[in-house]
Structure 1
Amino acid sequence: MAQSTLLSTDVVAPRDRAPQWAEWISRHFCGLQSDLYGDVDFDGQIVSSQAGDVILTRLEANRHRVLRTASMVRTSDVAYLKIVAPWRGSAVVQQQGRQACAQDGAWVIYDTTGTYEIGNPERSDHLIVMVPKEGILERGQRFDGVMARRLGANGISRVALETMRNTYLELPNMSGAAAAGAGELIKQLVRLSLMELSGQDTALTQREALRDRIRGYVQQHLRDPQLSADAIARALHCSRRHLYNAFSGEGESIAAYIQRLRLQACIRDLQQAGPHARPITDIALSWGFGNPSHFSRVFRDHTGMSPSEFRSS
């Protein structure tokens, strides 16, 4: 019978839950930074099992973010391809200049040997699968172009999604040999899914290419207060309709995407304390918020606190 590991904040004092969660996330997932969007109250649990060398984890938690930096990549021992497949909620994965949103019925894959960021903007219930890279890639084979891509809607990637979910749910009833065999099946299905996706040349991949160009333009011009869907369409020489079609299915509009990135940048700057900390209004203006009152309002909607309360906390 496969053994499970349970980590739950239910046994941790409320004031200690955030730092304990950060420590668990870093240790269990081989080095990650995490934060709670500025929230004070938090609860979550991690239940993990193994199918051979494939690690399957069910993570239920309040909203939170995780970040893997270049220094964390260098200190990691094992190279994994990592999959997030939500049962409930959503996960926004950013890697290699791309972004993909996973929701129920889909999964997103990313590479732990590169930097990445994952936002879980609402309470979520995710299946997270870690597959050793050497079990997926053959010699000389690369799947860089399909990292941070959404899969699972149909075809072999849908079969892979159902297999990962069912394997996790049935692991307590499997022998060690059966669990190892299920892990090998997961690796084979993931590899086939990536091969199928990397070989496509369809309208879908064309939309994904435009989506990547949109994200790249937004990243480069995030500080420009005139950044908008119209400005992006003009710069990329496409119509607003093509722009919106390329971004459909991401779980947020282009305007919401721009605002979220700006808020994340402001949050990072507000976390810099000390005598050289910049005024809140300067930070907001530097990231494209032209109206301090509007900034305060959307900041409170995002974090539950005003900018000054967030900085104090």
Structure 2
Amino acid sequence: MPTADAVREDTQLSHWQERLRRVLGAVRVTTADGTSPGGTVVTARLGHVDVSRVESDAQRVARTARAPRHGEAPDVLLALLRGGTMALVQDEGHVVADQGDLLVWDEARPYSLHCGGPFTALVLRVPRSRLGLSDDSTRSVALSAFASSAGTAGLLGTVVSTLATSPASYAPSVAGRLADSVVDLLSILLLERSRPGDHGAGERAALVRRVREHIDRNLQDPALSPRTVARDHHISVRYLHRVFQPEDTTVGRLIQQRRIEQSARELARHELRTLSVAAVALRWGFANPAHFSRVFRRRYGCTPVEWRRSGSRA
């Protein structure tokens, strides 16, 4: 359920600071006169993403602690500014967002947010591990501002605006898939921003390599599929397919191809001739011998039995 906290101007600054910590991690809030800026924070959980709406007055929010929030891994923060202006400072850089802009930054390193007047922002906490990006790549593309008027940023801004209206109203199964969509769009946006330095191509190649290695390690698992591969890499199936688009195969075909190749190797080994064709097929994830024979014939132009005979003669 969402939680709403309204803070009056006469409330202690520390109280408001504690409200923001639920959204931004271990932060310190300062104002020009030392009093609480007041405002409202509404937070809800959408699958594996925290969604918050923050309305407040002028203030400076600084994150100096490097330790992860509550002992967890640091997240990537995404803010859609619905009103006012916000400046983000991190490392040696800074960006300024106006109404309608998206801000993205990395919680792992100290940062500060400067709000010169009243503002409204929708803030999402996205687990870094689900983005499929390395720490170096995340660092290189975080601290960015995007105009949410067109392209991927526009689509992401629309989704965030829609979900933030009532994130707790979705069923758990639906909420998880919606959260995956947000993560996918954010990943694509960051990869697009990283293209000038070619980090995006490198990240895609690294993920493809990890997926191929994962498939080879788990070929004998009959449950291996694009869905389980995506789950084990903390990405959605849709994003997995997008990553493999430039390749000469799909994830499903790759799994089948590698299984057929391993089966062919075993069928040709003289010391394994006592194993039945069905046993070899089952060993490499084919539960249906007839299906295995059809796929094998398409790949090698002969039946598994004929292949075994030719291998034994060789």
TM tier, smaller: 0.5 to 0.7
Report the equivalent of 1:105: 100
Alignment partner of 1:49 is 2:66: no
For 1:195, give the aligned amino acid: L
Shift of 1:153: 4.0
SS in 1 for 2:10: helix
Given candidates 149, 154, 159, the residue that maps to 2:155 is 159
Matched residue, 1:197: 193
Aligned residues: 196
- Residue in 2 aligned with 1:123? 118
1:180 corresponds to:
176
Give 1:84 deviation, angstroms: 1.6
User: How far off its partner does 1:139 sit?
Assistant: 5.4
Structure 1 residue 8 corresponds to structure 2 residue 12: no
Q: Which structure 2 residue ranges, 5 or more long, are not aligned?
A: 198-314
Is this contact kept in 2: 1:146–1:197, CA < 8 A? yes
Taking structure 1 as the reference length, what is the TM-score of the superposition?
0.58
Higher relative contact order (CA 8 A, sep 6+): 1
Residues 26 and 65, structure 2, Cα contact 8 Å, conserved in 1: no
Q: Is the CA contact (8 Å cut-off) linking 2:12 and 2:35 kept in structure 1? A: no
State the match for 1:280 in structure 2.
none
Could you tell me how far 1:137 is from its partner in structure 2? 2.6
Cα distance per residue 1:226-260 (max 9 Å; x no partner):
xxxxxxxxxxxxxxxxxxxxxxxxxxxxxxxxxxx
SS in 2 for 1:37: coil
Deviation digits for residues 173-224 of structure 1 (CA, Å, limit 9, x no counterpart): 32121111111100000000000111147xxxxxxxxxxxxxxxxxxxxxxx
RMSD value, Cα: 2.2
Match of 1:207 in 2: none
1:49, distance to aligned residue in structure 2 (A): 1.0
Q: Indicate whether 1:169 and 2:165 are aligned.
A: yes
CA offsets per residue over residues 12-51 of structure 1, 9 Å max, x none?
Answer: xx53332210122234432111112225463211001111
Tell me how far apart the structure 2 counterparts of residues 183 and 175 of structure 1 sit (CA, whole Å): 12
> Alpha carbons of 1:200 and 1:178: their partners in 2 closer, same or farther (altered >3 Å)?
same
**CA drift at 1:104:** 1.8
Amino acid at match of 1:38: D
* In structure 2, distance between residues paired with 1:145 and 1:180: 28
Letter in 1 for 2:140: G
- Partner residue of 1:89 out of 64, 80, 84: 84
Aligned partners of 1:60 and 1:126 also within 8 Å: yes
Q: How far off its partner does 1:75 sit? A: 7.4
**TM-score by structure 2 length?**
0.58
Contact 1:73 1:115 in 2 (8 A): no
Question: Whose radius of gyration is greater, 1 or 2?
Answer: 2
In terms of mean alpha carbon deviation, does 121-130 or 140-149 score higher? 140-149
Q: Quick one: structure 1 residues 175 and 85, their matched pair in 2 at CA, closer, same or farther if it must change by over 3 Å? A: same
How far apart in 2 are the matches of 1:35 and 1:89? 18
State the identity as a percent. 16
List runs of 5+ in structure 1 lacking aligned partners: 202-313
| Counterparts of 1:55 and 1:155, CA distance in 2 | 24
Alpha-carbon deviations, 1:138-166, whole Å to 9, x = none? 45771322221111342111111111111
Supply the AA of the counterpart residue of 1:104. Answer: Q
